[in-house]
Amino acid sequence: MAAVDPARPVEISPTGVAPMATAVIDLLTALDDGPTPVADLAAKVSSAIHLCRYEPGMALVTASVAADLDAPKELTRLALAQLVGEGLLTRAGSRTTVALSGSRPFPRPEHLAARLREQIAQGIYPSGVNLPGLNELARRLNTVQPRIAEAQRLLEADGLLLRQRRRGPAVLEPARLLTSPDRLPLPDPPARRIPLHAVQMSAGAASNRWHRRAYLPPAEVHMHWQSLRDIGAQLLDTPFPNCATSGARARANARATRAMEALCAPLPDGILPGLWHTACLSTALRDLLPPSGSNRGR
Predicted confidence (pLDDT) per residue in 149-159, tens digit: 999 999 999 99
Q: What's the rounded Cα separation, in Å, for the pair 91 and 81? A: 9
| The pLDDT of residue 30 is above 50 | no
The class that CATH gives domain 36-98 is mainly alpha
More confident residue, 290 or 274: 274
Mean pLDDT for the chain overall: 87
Q: What's the rounded Cα separation, in Å, for the pair 227 and 229? A: 5
CA dihedral 114, 119, 122, 125 (to 10 degrees): -130
Where b means 16+ CB within 10 Å and e means fewer, 108-140 reads ebebbbbbbbbbbbbebbebeeebeebeebbeb
Q: Do 38 and 77 contact (CB within 8 A), yes or no?
A: no
CATH of domain 109-177: 1.10.10.10
User: Helix or strand or coil: residue 59?
Assistant: strand
Q: What's the rounded Cα separation, in Å, for the pair 35 and 213? A: 31
Q: pLDDT tens for residues 166-225?
A: 888 999 988 777 877 789 999 999 999 999 999 999 999 999 999 999 999 999 999 999
| The pLDDT of residue 97 is above 50 | yes
**107: preceding bond cis by omega (within 30 degrees):** yes
Q: What's the rounded Cα separation, in Å, for the pair 17 and 35? A: 28
Helix (H) or strand (E) holding 34: none
Q: What's the rounded Cα separation, in Å, for the pair 251 and 97? A: 40
Contacts 24+ apart (CB under 8 A), 221-224: 221/267, 221/271, 221/274, 221/275, 221/278, 222/267, 222/274, 224/278
Band of residue 31 on the pLDDT scale cut at 50, 70, 90: very low
Q: Do 273 and 191 contact (CB within 8 A), yes or no?
A: no
Tell whether pTM > 0.85. no
More confident residue, 61 or 293: 61
Q: For every residue of 64-101, which 3-state class applies, written as one string? A: HHHHHHCCCHHHHHHHHHHHHHHCCEEEECCEEEECCC
Residue-level pLDDT at 27:
46
Q: What is the mean pLDDT of residues 19-32?
A: 52
| The pLDDT of residue 134 is above 50 | yes
Cα 227 off chain centre by: 15
Q: What's the rounded Cα separation, in Å, for the pair 279 and 204? A: 9
Highest mean pLDDT, choosing among 19-33, 176-190, 229-243, 249-263: 249-263
Q: Which of 196, 203, 178, 174 is nearest to 280 (CA)?
A: 203
Q: Which one-letter DSSP state was computed for residue 5?
A: -
| The pLDDT of residue 96 is above 70 | yes
Q: Do 276 and 107 contact (CB within 8 A), yes or no?
A: yes
Q: What's the rounded Cα separation, in Å, for the pair 23 and 9? A: 22
More confident residue, 23 or 205: 205
Q: Kindly report the length of the chain.
A: 298
Residue-level pLDDT at 297:
45
More confident residue, 170 or 242: 170
Q: What's the rounded Cα separation, in Å, for the pair 236 and 104? A: 36
Residue boundaries of the structural domains of the chain: 36-98, 109-177, 196-286
Q: pLDDT tens for residues 73-84?
A: 999 999 999 999
Domains 36-98 and 109-177 share a fold: yes
Q: Which one-letter DSSP state was computed for residue 290?
A: P
